[in-house]
Amino acid sequence: MARKKAASCDWAPARKKGKPTQRKGPAAPPRTRLMRHSADHSWTGVKTERYKLDDGTWADVIRRTLVGDRGEGVKFHLRYFEIAPGGHTTLERHRHEHVVVGVRGRGKCKVRRNSYEIEVMDTLYIPPDAPHQLKNPYQEPFGFFCVVDAKRDRPRPV
């Protein structure tokens, strides 16, 4: 059995050029799906994924994609990230926007030259091309939802 290539959290994969895929009959519409939340900040039917390829620019981050990788017709993706104490995301920039909503613990986000502390239910908008990095300097996990465009560009390290 061939292994399926893992979806990236950073950008939408490029479409291959060539003949369009032939389908038999109309595509089935997306189904309603309820993902139950658990006390450990996981959801039923949602896999825990690594943040991105190990390249030494980040530490102790997990990702769970809630909406956007199961055939939904949405123009956005909703993901949950969790940064362990002492962990951080990559310092990067890209053309797409982010919306970050704190849902567990607290953390810090550097955007350009400013630093913002994010607590539960705080919402931070990160504009296009703004260098940014999320960190957890605290003793408890920092979990947040991140909303991004479904079609997005590749991040550029800063």
Kindly report the average pLDDT of the chain as a whole number: 87
Token readout for 58 is: 């980040």
7 pLDDT more than 50: no
DSSP 3-state of 124? strand
Check if the beta carbon of residue 67 is closer than 8 Å to that of residue 78.
Answer: yes
Beta-carbon neighbour count of residue 33 at 10 Å? 12
This prediction has a pTM of: 0.82
Name the pLDDT band for 25 (thresholds 50, 70, 90). low
Distances (CA, A) of 71 to 29, 77, 108, 137: 9, 11, 33, 36
Distances (CA, A) of 145 to 14, 16, 77, 81, 121: 25, 30, 10, 6, 10
User: For position 5, what pLDDT does the model report?
Assistant: 45
Catalytic-labelled residue, pool 103, 126, 146, 148: 146
| Topology (CATH) of 58-157 | Jelly Rolls (2.60.120)
4 Cβ contact partners less than 8 Å away, ≥ 6 residues apart:
none
% of the chain surpassing 90 pLDDT:
71
153 pLDDT more than 70: yes
Token readout for 51 is: 């943040």
User: For position 94, what pLDDT does the model report?
Assistant: 95
28 pLDDT more than 50: yes
Give tens-digit pLDDT for 93-104.
999 999 999 999
HSE toward the beta carbon, residue 145, CA cutoff 13 A: 14
- For the question of residue 109 being annotated catalytic, the response is no
Integer Cα distance of 45 and 2 in angstroms: 22
Give tens-digit pLDDT for 112-134.
999 999 999 999 999 999 999 99
Integer Cα distance of 157 and 152 in angstroms: 15
